[in-house]
Each structure stands twice: as structure tokens, then as C-alpha cells.
Amino acid sequence: MPELPEVETMRRGITPVIGARIADVKRIRSRHRPLVISPAARSFRRRAIGTTIAGVDRIGKRVVLQLDNHEAIVFEPRMTGLVLLTDPPDRDHLRLTIDLTDARPRQLFYWDRRGLGHIDLLSAAELAQRFAPDRIGPDALDVTARQLANRLASSRREIKVALLDQRSVAGIGNLYASEILHLARIHPAIGCSALTGDQWRALHRAMRRVLNAAIRHEGSTLRDGTYRNALNVAGGYQNHHRVYDRANLPCPVCHRRVVRIVQAQRSTFFCPRCQGPRQTESASPVRRRESGNIAPTR
């Protein structure tokens, strides 16, 4: 957390900074865990001050300020980071401010309770190298069903674990992986290589539906209250979660109790009735190929 819907909400929320000129960049002293900011403060300020923000993009779970000198400021919120246009939840965990001119927003804030996020100022070449296709997969909102199958179907990893691999598909984290698999009616522990063509299509449809719905509700603010949009307002998609963090509560579809398991040291939530047993794993390779038209190209 934040995942694709939260970061996309941040990106949309700060678009008023487009056209603004950067007047100053200030790293805020904090008694908490120091934030990773690169390059060092003096070089960061020298390169950023005087530039104009030409665009606001997103790469996976990162917000990117495109500057008119072809460099980019990349915010990676990781667990608790927020990119804000208004005063942050508190000043104690404020990490960076960017002073702006020539636009209505006068400041852009980066706040991070746990200090696990990163902020990087990258040249165009560095940006292209860091986020090359061999380092990060296609965006979860752009990937096609066939691409998804091609990238994952040969893997023996459990599907829930595979969806968290940003090199395969970018933007999905622990929360939305559980939600997507529930909507697709796929058991989270089924191996990728056991999924049928129909299941890959169902997974792709569920991915787009869940992520777009979460964006419409401006993300999920969980019980710790950390995530906020760019105006420091809570998201609303937590009120529509199907299974995430709902262990022992009724499934909204069949009313069977939601189960929690641990995969790759992360909590996974699913409905044992809607998502069924891992029976697909016993299907023969021939039968799996015949059950759908999507087959990974080798």
C-alpha cells in the first residue's frame, strides 16, 4: 500500500501543478527514519530549481513529475508515502516540499509515516533504463489478457504470488490481488501453469474492473488511516472490499466465511466456496489447452 489505484488517484490529484515552475526544493529534517532521496540535496536543488513541470505521469506504483528539461522527479510511496497539494496529516512525518510559482498550487508535499519511500531525480536516460521492459512489466490497466497469459502461464508460482511481481505486471499489490482473484473466482494458491484460457480471460476482466472501480472511489484507506488523496481526504473503496481484511466475515456473494492464509509472508483473503478448491491443478495439460483459446506463445 499504496497500490495502483491509490497512486493513480495521487497522480490525478496533483495535475494542477502542470505548468508550474519549481522555485525551491526543501528536504525537511525529521527525527524519524531518514527518507532515501537521490541525488544529494544540493545537486537535487540545482537541477530542479527553475524547471517547469511539463506533465504528471504514473509508472506502476510511482508518481512521475516530467520536467521541461527532460528530467523527471519520481516519487515511490511504498508503504505509507503520500504526494499532496495541501497540508499533510501532520508535520512530524513531512519529508519534502517543492515550492511552486506560475500556478495556483504554491507547494507540493511528500509525507511518509514510515519513511520507506524513495524520491529520485532522474535524467531521461536514467528513467528509461530504470523502467525498461526487462525491469518492469506492462501496467495492469494496459496489459491484455494474452500478454498476461504469455508472461505468467509458464510459471509454477501460485497465481496470487505471481500477481505481486512487478516485473510481470506493474501496479498490483497485496490488497488488490486478493480482490481481483475473488471477482475472477480463482483460488489464490493455484499455480499459474494450471490456469485455463477462460480463467486468464476472467482474471484480466476482473483486474480491469476492480482497479477502475477503486480509482473511481479514490483508493482504499485502511484501518490505520494512512492513505489519503492529494487533498488529504480518505479514499472510499475500502467500503467495497470483497475479501481483503475480512477474515471470518461473510463473503458478499455466497455468505461463506472469508478465509485468511499466508503466501510469501503476506496475508491472502479468499472465499473457499466462490474460489473453490485447487482442483484446476490436477487438470491435464491437454485439457487445459482445450478449455480456452489463450495459450502462451513460447
Instruction: Please determine whether the domains at 4-130 and 145-290 fall in the same fold group of CATH.
Output: no
State which fold the 4-130 domain adopts: N-terminal domain of MutM-like DNA repair proteins (3.20.190)
Angle between helices 4-13 and 197-216 (to 10 degrees): 40
Is the pLDDT confidence value at 269 over 70? yes
Cα(191)–Cα(183) distance, rounded to whole angstroms?
Answer: 18
Q: Give the burial class of 205: count Cβ atoms within 10 A of its Cβ; 0-12 exposed, 13-18 middle, 19 or more buried.
A: middle
Write down the pLDDT at residue 38. Answer: 96
Is the pLDDT confidence value at 282 over 50? no
Structural contact between residues 257 and 248, judged by C-beta atoms closer than 8 angstroms: yes
Helix (H/G/I), strand (E/B), else coil: 86: coil
Is the pLDDT confidence value at 97 over 90? yes
Distances (CA, A) of 150 to 103, 111, 261, 284: 45, 38, 27, 19
Element (H, E) at 178: helix 174-184
Q: What is the pLDDT of residues 197-212, one digit of tens each?
A: 999 999 999 999 999 9
Structural contact between residues 95 and 28, judged by C-beta atoms closer than 8 angstroms: yes
Write down the pLDDT at residue 278. Answer: 65
User: How much of the chain exceeds pLDDT 90, in percent?
Assistant: 87
Is the pLDDT confidence value at 218 over 50? yes
Write down the pLDDT at residue 294. Answer: 60
Is the pLDDT confidence value at 283 over 90? no
| Residues pairing with 124 in the sheet | none
Summarize the confidence of residues 255-275 as an average pLDDT: 97
- List the catalytic residues: 2-3, 61, 266
Q: What is the pLDDT of residues 101-125, one digit of tens each?
A: 998 899 999 999 999 999 999 999 9
> Which residue, chain included where needed, has cell 522555485?
23
Omega of the bond prior to 296 within 30 degrees of 0, cis?
A: no
Domain boundaries, the chain: 4-130, 145-290
Indicate the DSSP class of residue 16: G
Contacts of 203 (CB under 8 A, 6+ apart): 145, 148, 159, 180, 181, 184, 186, 195
Write down the pLDDT at residue 104. Answer: 87
Helix, strand, coil content of the chain in percent (nearest 5): 30, 25, 45
Q: What is the pLDDT of residues 10-40, one digit of tens each?
A: 999 999 999 999 999 999 988 888 899 999 9
Omega of the bond prior to 138 within 30 degrees of 0, cis?
A: no
Q: What is the pLDDT of residues 161-180, one digit of tens each?
A: 999 999 999 999 999 999 99
What average pLDDT is seen over the chain?
92
Write down the pLDDT at residue 117. Answer: 95
For the structural domain made of 145-290, what CATH number should be given? 1.10.8.50
Contacts of 94 (CB under 8 A, 6+ apart): 28, 30, 88, 109, 110, 111
pTM: 0.91
Q: What is the pLDDT of residues 124-159, one digit of tens each?
A: 999 999 999 999 999 999 999 999 999 999 999 999
User: How much of the chain exceeds pLDDT 70, in percent?
Assistant: 93
81-84 and 94-101 strand pairing: unpaired
